[in-house]
Chain A
Amino acid sequence: MDAFRVVAGKLETIIEDDEREVLAHLASEVAELLGIDVAQRAGELGLFDDASGPSSDVEDQWEEITRALQMADTDGPEMVGPPADPAVERLLPPVSEDPAIDDEYRRLTQTGLRMRKGDRLVRFWVYLQPENGPLLRLNAGQAEEFMAAITDIRLVVGQRLGIETSDDLESLRLQFQLGEEPDQRAGLLQISDVLAWWQESLISGLQMLGDAH
């Protein structure tokens, strides 16, 4: 995976097939937490032909990630009120400690936010389909969506890793370095770190694009 570079007013990077698959899979898992089936939704949005969709062996290949991200009590697509899954609550956080204020806010905004985040992940997933080739080229608007989709993925991964504070993150990093706790979470943390680095390159690229105008 390369950092994004500014090329002729767009942001470009090269991304290899295995990296595409991991990222696309992560996006589909996070969308699923929001009650959205990426392939189906991409079809509805006219972005993807569902019939030629990804084969299920892709799913199997990343089973460990799936296991690490999924939870038994997922929130259905009809979710109203505070989400049951704490990772979904990170995507749709409370607006107030006052339940009356929060309930009203959720009634007004939750479906819209959920769909907006879901559709963003769907487009992210579409960009990463293998038929699009290794070159990824985004305009400023697409790059911003991409960046926000990466944020949502990292919020979910962070919650699943039990990261509540910066100290948690540091101690987890240390544990993995010392090899005290060898488990699938080390891989997830690595993915999250790579995504952070990638996102950083998008941000500086976007700033360069902004400065150019």
Chain B
Amino acid sequence: MTGISRIDQPDVDVAVDVAIDTRLDRPWAVVVWDDPVNLMSYVVYVFQRHFGYSHEKATKLMFEVHNAGKSAVAHGNREEVERHAEAMHAYGLWATIEKTGDG
């Protein structure tokens, strides 16, 4: 028993480390999804207004959403992308957060 728990212990630490790492450092993305209701011009407006993107960049991202069905429009740690997703939801856009890369 004692032996086993000594072997288990490092695993627990690793798991905790990964959780903290994921939460604070690993890159996450906020993904905006295409929907049949929102106007293209509105989506461009929201991307410019919320993210401060140029009209050109906002338009490019909007077309990615429209043509590919979704687009990762911003990256950050989990807290940051959650804040962005909340802002998108407030504007009525469909947004999710995704962990990018391994993790």
Looking at the assembled complex, report how far the CB atom of B38 sits from the nearest CB atom of chain A, in whole angstroms: 7
B residues 75-102 touching A (CB-CB < 8 Å): 82, 85-86, 89-92, 94-98
Interface residue ranges of A163-187 to B (CB < 8 Å): 163-166, 168-169
CB contact list, A147-172 vs B, under 8 A: 147-148, 151-152, 154-155, 158, 163-166, 168-169
Docked-complex contact A113 and B89, CB < 8 angstroms: yes
A158 CA / B82 CA spacing, docked (Å): 26
Is A61 in contact with chain B by the CB < 8 A criterion? no
Of A97, A165, A166, A168, which one neighbours B96 at CB under 8 angstroms?
A97
A93 within 8 A of B: yes
Is A96's CB within 8 Å of the partner chain B? yes
The contact of B90 among A96, A113, A169, A192, by CB within 8 Å, is A113
A residues less than 8 Å from B92 (CB atoms): 91, 148, 151-152, 155
Separation of A101 and B96 alpha carbons in the complex (Å): 10
**With known contacts A109-B86, A113-B86, A117-B90, A95–B97 Cβ distance under 8 A:** yes
Q: Of B37, B38, B49, which is in contact with the most chain A CB atoms at under 10 Å from its CB?
A: B37
Q: Which residue of A lies closest to B44 (CB)?
A: A203
Task: Report the minimum CB–CB distance from A75 to chain B (whole Å).
Answer: 16
- Cβ of B36 within 8 Å of any chain A Cβ, yes or no, is yes
Q: How many B residues have CB within 8 A of the partner chain?
A: 22
Q: Give the nearest-CB partner of A157 in chain B.
A: B37
B37 → chain A closest CB, angstroms:
4
Whether the pair B36, A199 counts as a contact (CB closer than 8 A) is: no
Q: Can you sample 25 A-B contacts with CB below 8 Å?
A: A92-B89, A93-B89, A93-B95, A94-B96, A95-B89, A95-B97, A97-B96, A101-B97, A105-B85, A108-B82, A109-B86, A109-B89, A116-B90, A147-B42, A147-B45, A148-B92, A151-B38, A154-B38, A155-B92, A166-B34, A168-B36, A169-B36, A199-B39, A203-B41, A203-B45
